[in-house]
Amino acid sequence: MIQKWTLKGEEVRALPLDELALRVLISAQQSWNWRNWLLEARQDHYPHDPEVVQILSEAWGWLKAKCLIAWTFDQSATEAFTITRRGHEFLRQGTRWLRAVERLDIDLVPELEFTARPQFLRGDYETASFTAMKEVEVQVRRRAGLSDSLVGTKLIQEAFRPPKNLGGDAGSLWREDLDPGESVAQMDLFKGAIGLFKNPSSHRRVDFTDATEAAEVVLLADLLLRLLKKVAD
């Protein structure tokens, strides 16, 4: 094993499955056969605790289900494995990264599917977040028919502008079918998202090192684009 296995039986039982699987993968980096690894664990660490060995087997199953390991085609043993590209990233970035990646394991709108998602998976969280929110701005401008000179929160304000009085002129994306308070809230939602997550990245470097936060920004942009389609349809 590449690292000395130090977990006691009660620790194996207590760890969340993903954290246990990470510990298993770290220790198995120089192994090639998952069954041999389990036999060694049973013989050297848990000779009288078959339940713990079974839990470790569950961790191996989890690694395979998450595509963090794959079977090795050039080995005749059916238990032979190799660490996948995603598995190496899991080793490098840990459980928080994988949980964030799985947050985006849904169908995003097409505008984000081929832009923000690949950038996120490459680990470029700042670009992924900026691209997602920029797409919201672009779609608002296009659907509202406004000039390219309007950007950021000013663009949102004009596109969703409420009428000054009953029956007065309003922005082209103002929702007359909603309660006025809800329409204002929708404008504020778009304006706040653009102001907080898109505008700062337009003018300075924003340090997005938290994969979970970046995933949430992309998901927020996905929600806004879905809402925008309802507004404009």
Q: Which of 45, 66, 93 is the last residue of a domain?
A: 93
Spatial neighbors of 198 by CB under 8 A, at least 6 apart, are 130, 133, 134, 136, 137, 152
Alpha helices (H) in the chain, listed in sequence order: 9-14, 17-27, 34-44, 50-65, 85-93, 95-103, 110-113, 116-121, 125-144, 152-159, 180-193, 199-203, 211-232
Tally of structural domains, the chain? 2
Rg (CA), the chain: 25
Helix pair 85-93, 95-103: axis angle to 10 deg: 120
The answer to whether residues 122 and 89 belong to one domain is no
The structure's pTM equals: 0.80
The answer to whether residues 87 and 120 belong to one domain is no
The answer to whether residues 112 and 166 belong to one domain is yes
Q: Give a yes or no: residue 151 inside a domain.
A: yes
Listed range (2-16, 63-77, 129-143, 216-230) with the worst mean pLDDT = 2-16
Instruction: Indicate which CATH number applies to the domain containing 84.
Output: 1.10.10
The answer to whether residues 69 and 128 belong to one domain is no
Parent domain of 136: 107-232
- Whether 36 shows a pLDDT value over 80: the answer reads yes
Q: Give a yes or no: residue 184 inside a domain.
A: yes
How do residues 74-128 score in pLDDT, each as one tens digit? 888 999 999 999 999 999 999 999 999 999 999 999 999 999 999 998 888 989 9
The answer to whether residues 88 and 169 belong to one domain is no
How do residues 144-175 score in pLDDT, each as one tens digit? 999 999 999 999 999 999 988 766 688 889 88
The answer to whether residues 158 and 182 belong to one domain is yes
Give me the DSSP letters along 128-157. Answer: HHHHHHHHHHHHHHHHHT--TT--HHHHHH
